[in-house]
Amino acid sequence: MDFPLLIGIFPQVLLDGLILGFMYALIALGYTMVYGVLEFINFAHSEIFVVGAFVGVEILLTLQAAGLLEIFSPFLVLLVVLLLGMLASGLLAVTVERVAYRPLRGAPRLIPLISAIGVSFFLQDAVRLVESIWRNAFNLVYPTMDTLNIRYSFTETLDVSVKSLVVIVASLLMLWGLHALVNRTKIGKAIRAVAEDQATASLMGINVNRMISLTFLIGGAMGGAAGVLFGVQYSLINPYTGFIPGLKAFTAAVLGGIGNIPGAMLGGLVLGLLEAFAASYLSLLTGGAFGAEYKDIFAFSILILILIFRPKGLLGEVVRERA
């Protein structure tokens, strides 16, 4: 076994894992917030994430076509793209809730879940349809921005690109912002009250439906932000990109304790790191017999193990059994 190599790639793998982890954390927030309020897995959240990525790529490609991409500061452009992506995804999430979930509230539990799966499939092809008509292509590539691709080499095996730093800083800011919103504002208090007990919250004068919409808006916006950052980091997107990250992010939410916001952040980071290490080290440690392809299996095994041995997750409360 090549120990110097194993140790040498460690910092790079750590960095990759962190970036992946922040991505999962941002997506996981959408699952966990909705679950906290409605006890329902918003299966379509992975498509909300993809729509954010597509809004981002459309804006960037339009700017590029108009020759404006080089004129403005890339950070300013990125900020605008991020905000618009968040807005689009947030509004889409609210619409989906209004159209496909609200009519089913109070129905047996599997009914809204099946509807959510339907929405997910519908949105995948809807994105493809729109892009096929609009661009005659649905595998899109984020335009490169030179400033973002500058790399700083720290050691022989670790170099950090500006965009990685941007992704990390943006994720941290958003996670902090959400934490503050939920814990320090009146709106956050109302959302927590609805999650705790809808009937009582409504007796206290909280508009439950509005708070549920708001939850979808915030969760969707976080997903949209993750979509834009995903595009910036990994460049290649298509309408079906969201499925696997969505599943992983759900795993992260369960890992951290579903319904628990800090839990989703922690779960995302843990899963991202585990996955990055599995992807890099599995093949080195098994002499190439099991390669990086098995990282997905790794994540699902974690999901199954967590659900069996600690269903409440790392930070979670006890999951209530409801027939």
Chain residues binding other proteins by CB under 8 A are 40-41, 100, 103-115, 117-126, 128-129, 131-133, 136-138, 243, 247, 250, 254, 289, 291, 293-294, 296-297, 300-301, 303-304, 307-308, 311, 321, 323
| Between 2 and 321, CB nearer to other proteins | 321
Contacts of 232 (CB under 8 A, 6+ apart): 56, 78, 142, 148, 163, 166, 167
| Between 281 and 294, CB nearer to other proteins | 294
Q: How far is the CB of 247 from other proteins (least distance, A)?
A: 7
Q: How many residues does the chain have?
A: 323
- With residue 121 as reference, give the H or E element that holds it: helix 110-135
Q: How far is the CB of 103 from other proteins (least distance, A)?
A: 5
| Between 74 and 256, CB nearer to other proteins | 256
Q: How far is the CB of 231 from other proteins (least distance, A)?
A: 20
Q: What is the distance between the alpha carbons of residues 58 and 125, in angstroms, rounded to a whole number?
A: 17
| Between 40 and 49, CB nearer to other proteins | 40
Question: 């193990």: which residue's tokens?
Answer: 305
- With residue 153 as reference, give the H or E element that holds it: strand 151-153
Q: What is the distance between the alpha carbons of residues 110 and 77, in angstroms, rounded to a whole number?
A: 42
Q: How far is the CB of 134 from other proteins (least distance, A)?
A: 8
Three-class SS of residue 236? strand
DSSP state of 289: S
Q: How far is the CB of 296 from other proteins (least distance, A)?
A: 5
| Between 91 and 126, CB nearer to other proteins | 126
